[in-house]
Amino acid sequence: MRNVFVTGGAGFIGSHCVISLVKNGYKPIILDNFSNSHQSIIKKLEKITKKKIIYYNVDIRDKKKLKLIFKKHPCYAVIHCAGFKAVGESVENSVCYFENNVGSTLALLECMQKNKIYKIIFSSSATVYDDDKALPLKENGKIGNTKNPYGTSKYIIERILKDLAKSDSRWSIRIARYFNPISNHPTGLIKENPKGALNNLIPYIVKVAQKKISELKIFGKDYNTKDGTGVRDYVHIMDLADGHTAMIKKISHKKGLKIYNFGTGKGWSVLEVVKAFEKQTGISIPYKFTKRRKGDVAISICSPKKALKELNWKAKYDLDHAIIDIKKIL
Ligand code: NAD
Ligand code: UD1
C-alpha cells in the first residue's frame, strides 16, 4: 500500500483528501501542527475510514522533525495542503504568511529532495489568476497581479515549483488551483472548522442558520453580474478530494509540472447561494448588503475541461447536493 503524506491533513481540504485516499487504497500519513485544526479530527477520520490514521504533530518548517518522519515511512507522494489561508490576516501580517506558506514549502521540498521523493501536489488557489481575464478561467491564463499577501504567497510558490520542474527533470509536480470548496463529508462528522476567524461565505451562512450570527453581510450589490452580487464556482469538498486522488493515480505517468483547475465550471451568485440554502434547509437567512470587500472580483468561474481530459475528473455534485450535506452539520 502506497504512503501518501498529507501536510495540513487535519485541515478542511486535507482531511477530506485523507478519506478519498483511503477509499482508493492509499495510506495517508498526516503532517500537521494543528495551528488551524483540532486533534480530535483524527478519531473522526478513523471512524469514517475504519482505518488507523497515522499522524504527526509537526510544523513543516521544522526540518529536523520532517527528516525523521521521512526516514521512518517510505513515501510515494506528498499532497501539500499546509498553509495559512485567511486573506485579511495576510494583509495584517504578511511576513508571517510568507514565512509559513513559502517557508514550509521550501523546507518540504528540501526534505523531499534529500529523500529522493519527487512527486508533489500543491494546494494553490483561483486567487492567482488576473481578474480581468476572459471567463471561464483556464490553466494557461495569465496569473500574478495578486491582491493580497495570501495570493502572492500562492503565486510565489507556483513560480518556485515551475523553476524546480524546469531545473530537475525528476520532479512530477501538480498544481491544483481550487475554486470555492464547500460542504463536508456526507456523515457530517468532519467539516470546515478553523481555529481562527471565519473568512468564507458558507461558514458564515452556517453560523446565521445556527443563530450564532444574526445576519449575513453580503459584500456588494453593484457588481456587473446577474443580480449584482459576486459570482463563484462552488465545488463540493468530496469532489475536490477525489480530484487529488485522481492526480495521485496519474502522477507517475508524466514528469514535469502540470496545472489543474478544480471547479464545476458553473457560477452562483451570493444571492443564489442564499436562496438555494433556504430552499434545501427550510431555514431563513437574514442578510444585509454592505460595501464591497477589498480584493474581491465580480466573477470567478473555471474551465474544468483539462482535469476531465487528463485526469478523467469531473465534479459529481452540484450546489443543492452540497447544501444537503451541509444540513448534517447544522
Ligand atoms: P485549513 O486551515 O483548514 O488547513 C490547513 C492545515 O494546515 C491546518 O490544519 C493547519 O493546522 C495546517 N498548517 C498550517 N501551517 C502549518 C505548518 N507550518 N506546519 C504544519 N501544518 C500547518 O485550510 P484548508 O481550507 O484545508 O486549505 C488547505 C490549503 O488549500 C491551504 O494551503 C489553502 O491556502 C489552500 N486553499 C484553500 C481554499 C479554501 O477555500 N479552503 C481555496 C484555495 C486554496
Ligand atoms: C476567498 C479568498 C481567496 C481564497 C479563498 C479560500 C478573498 C478576496 N478571496 O475566496 O483568496 O483562496 O477565499 O480561502 O478573500 N461573501 C459575502 N459575505 C461573506 C463572505 C463572502 O458576501 O460574509 C461573498 C464574497 O464577496 C464573494 C463570495 O461570497 O463574492 C464568496 O466569498 P468567499 O467564500 O470568501 O470566497 P472567495 O472570495 O471567492
pLDDT at 193 (0 to 100): 85
pLDDT given at position 98? 98
What pLDDT sits at residue 130?
Answer: 85
- CA-closest residue to ligand 1 atom 35: 123
The neighbour count for residue 315, using CB atoms within 10 Å, is: 25
Taking Cα atoms as reference points, which of 42, 60, 62 lies closest to residue 52? 42
Residue 105 identity (one-letter amino acid) = T
Spatial distance between the Cα atoms of 33 and 58, rounded to a whole number of angstroms: 5
Q: Please give the full DSSP string across 173-215, using - where no structure is assigned.
A: EEEEEE-EEE---TT-SS----SS---SHHHHHHHHHTTSSS-
For 257, phi then psi, to 5°, come to -110, 135
Task: Tell how strand 27-32 and strand 216-219 pair up.
Answer: unpaired
Q: What is the pLDDT of residues 293-303, one digit of tens each?
A: 988 999 999 99
Residue 150 annotated to the active site:
yes
Query: What is the rounded CA–CA span in Å between residue 2 and residue 58?
Result: 21
**Cα–Cα distance for residue pair 125/108, rounded to 1 Å:** 19
Compute how many other C-beta atoms are within 10 angstroms of the C-beta atom of residue 257. Answer: 19
* pLDDT at site 43: 98
For residue 83, the CA-to-ligand 1 centroid distance in Å is 4
- Closest residue (by CA) to atom 29 of ligand 1? 81
The SS3 of residue 16 is helix
Chain length of the chain? 330
Beta carbon of 107 within 6 Å of any ligand 1 atom: no
Q: Nearest ligand to the C-alpha of residue 5? A: 1
Per cent of the chain over pLDDT 90 is 93
pLDDT value of position 213: 94
For residues 219 and 131, give the distance between their C-alpha atoms in angstroms, rounded to a whole number. Answer: 17
Res. 195 pLDDT band, cuts 50 70 90: confident
pTM value > 0.95 = yes
- Condensed to tens digits (0 to 9), the pLDDT of residues 47-56 reads 999 999 999 9
In angstroms, rounded to a whole number, what is the distance separating the alpha carbons of residues 178 and 126? 6
What domains sit in the chain, N to C, each tagged with a CATH number?
A: 3-182+235-263 (3.40.50.720)
Residue whose CA lies nearest to ligand 2 atom number 29: 201
Give the residue among 27, 20, 83 at the shortest CA–CA distance from 262: 20
* Predicted pLDDT of residue 132: 66
What is the torsional sign of CA 18, 16, 128, 59?
negative
Express each pLDDT in 102-150 by its tens digit: 999 999 999 999 999 999 999 999 999 986 668 999 999 999 999 899 9
Q: What angle do CA 101, 105, 109 make, to 5 degrees?
A: 175
| Catalytic annotation, pick one of 97, 118, 150, 223 | 150
Place of cell 465580480: 298
Q: Determine contact, residues 328/274, Cβ cutoff 8 Å.
A: no
Residues with CB under 6 A from ligand 2: 85, 87, 125, 127, 150-151, 180, 199-201, 204, 216-219, 230, 232, 270, 293, 295-296, 300
Kindly give the distance from the C-alpha atom of residue 11 to the centroid of ligand 1, in angstroms, as a whole number: 6
Mutate to test the pocket of ligand 2, among 12, 89, 145, 180 (most ligand atoms within 8 A of CB): 180
